[in-house]
């Protein structure tokens, strides 16, 4: 792997990497980012962010449907955000695929929305009419931590295929960085259980979008699943 790429990855990543990736070849890892299943706060249109809200029964059904669709391809591992809604989604998928329980990565957690968490869109507009929500994580900070985390996963599962159970704003940040205009915040949903596939490019320290709403996940477009911007209205603002 080129030295300039190695130097951009935190030292702790390389300390745990098999020696075989310390050469000058390009490493290609396929990453399938899955949005967690539905929660009660999703159904109530409440902003979740870093608040740990579990899946509801609909969310578990969505996770099982996604697992069945992913079973059409071969995967080496499942990893997940430590938030329970993503971890349980990943666990359902891993169990169905016959893989180990997901390793968790703090960098895959949902964007923090500070004091807006738990509120509806109307409540946010009433309390913060100037969109100055205390404690909200910036988009740039989100992208930085997610990119670093995906780099770590790509290196650890060198040249493999990995399911990444995570969150809507996390996925949107990577999609928009990899293919600007693909996931416009105002009109393009990232649905519960949807799959978005990427190829990690170590030369550019960058995730390349393969398919947005990968067709293996057609079920996630069915009736009864809410659009991302409807579930998280604050994300389409600041």
List the catalytic residues: 36, 110
Q: Do residues 48 and 110 make contact, with C-beta atoms less than 8 angstroms apart?
A: yes
Q: How far apart are CA 237 and CA 233, in angstroms?
A: 7
Residue 173: Cβ-neighbour burial (10 angstroms; 0-12, 13-18, 19+): buried
CA-derived radius of gyration, the chain? 17
- Please give the DSSP secondary-structure letter assigned to residue 55: B
In the block, residue with structure tokens 């059409």:
72
In the block, residue with structure tokens 């902003």:
47
Residue 19: Cβ-neighbour burial (10 angstroms; 0-12, 13-18, 19+): exposed
Q: Is the dihedral of CA 116, 122, 125, 126 positive or negative?
A: negative
């Amino acid at each position: 792997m080129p030295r300039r790429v190695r130097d951009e990855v935190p030292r702790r990543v390389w300390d745990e990497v098999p020696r075989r990736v310390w050469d000058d070849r390009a490493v290609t890892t396929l990453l399938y980012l899955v949005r967690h299943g539905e929660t009660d706060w999703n159904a109530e249109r409440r902003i979740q962010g870093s608040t740990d809200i579990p899946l509801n029964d609909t969310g578990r059904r969505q996770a099982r449907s996604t697992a069945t669709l992913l079973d059409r391809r071969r995967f080496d591992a499942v990893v997940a955000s430590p938030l329970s809604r993503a971890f349980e989604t990943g666990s359902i998928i891993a169990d169905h695929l016959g893989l180990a329980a997901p390793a968790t990565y703090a960098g895959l957690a949902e964007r923090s929305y500070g004091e807006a968490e738990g509120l509806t869109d109307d409540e946010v507009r009433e309390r913060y009419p100037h969109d100055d929500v205390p404690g909200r994580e910036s988009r740039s900070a989100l992208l930085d931590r997610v990119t670093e985390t995906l780099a770590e996963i790509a290196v650890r599962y060198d040249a493999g295929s990995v399911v990444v159970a995570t969150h809507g704003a996390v996925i949107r940040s990577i999609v928009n960085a990899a293919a600007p205009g693909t996931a416009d915040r105002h009109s393009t949903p990232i649905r519960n259980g949807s799959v978005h596939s990427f190829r990690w490019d170590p030369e550019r320290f960058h995730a390349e979008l393969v398919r947005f709403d990968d067709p293996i996940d057609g079920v996630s477009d069915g009736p009864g699943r809410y659009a991302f911007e409807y579930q998280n209205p604050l994300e389409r603002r600041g």
